[in-house]
Chain A
């Protein structure tokens, strides 16, 4: 059973960079066959896909966030990470990591972590 767990600061100051890590257990990122995605949900709102990474390091980002997003992978630690730069209050959200099936959907999700952008 694949499990994902997000970790990182729950509070980030405006204009700074949000950094989160997702640790995967029960399966190896480097085995291939899957993408690894970040998704966020603004308080009381719907879901927004941020982007994904493959174990090789290739990435694909949501065009609406592409200029501020970097997703990286550390296969030795079975982790992948999200960096979102120049954050504002509009980036306050619950951030989820998920296993992304190449056909285009998510079968395993982390529990989510709330990140608040505030001074």
Chain B
């Protein structure tokens, strides 16, 4: 089955840039999406179609794609950005797949 691989954790100081990667064989052919999930809350879409930002999402959130890896970048990280982040894509049959999640810690 198709898998997306994320680092379990990323740590960054306030004001610095956080980069969270997601790797998957189908990513060159399929879009990736990113969700932010804070404790006790439902996930929130922060990036769609690799690099598009939904309305209401701060400009410090951006996405990029290169080959089999997509990256969520949070510039000027704030304490409120501490959360779990999940990448998600779909395989060729339409099965939606999530990465294992990355815990972002703001030091």
The yes or no verdict on A and B being binding partners is yes
Shortest distance in angstroms between B19's beta carbon and chain A's nearest beta carbon?
Answer: 20
Summarize A's interface: helix, strand, loop or mixed. Answer: strand
Partner of B89 from A48, A96, A104 at Cβ < 8 Å: A104
Interface flags for A99-118 (1: CB within 8 Å of B; 0: not) read: 01101111101111000000
Q: How far, in angstroms, from A46 to B102 measured CA to CA in the complex?
A: 9
Q: How far, in angstroms, from A115 to B84 measured CA to CA in the complex?
A: 21
By a beta-carbon cutoff of 8 Å, the part of chain B in contact with chain A is 1, 30-31, 33, 35, 41-45, 48-49, 54, 86, 88-90, 94-101
- Interface pairs (16), CB distance under 8 Å: A47-B88, A47-B101, A48-B98, A52-B96, A96-B43, A101-B48, A104-B30, A104-B33, A104-B90, A104-B94, A105-B31, A105-B48, A105-B96, A106-B43, A109-B43, A109-B44
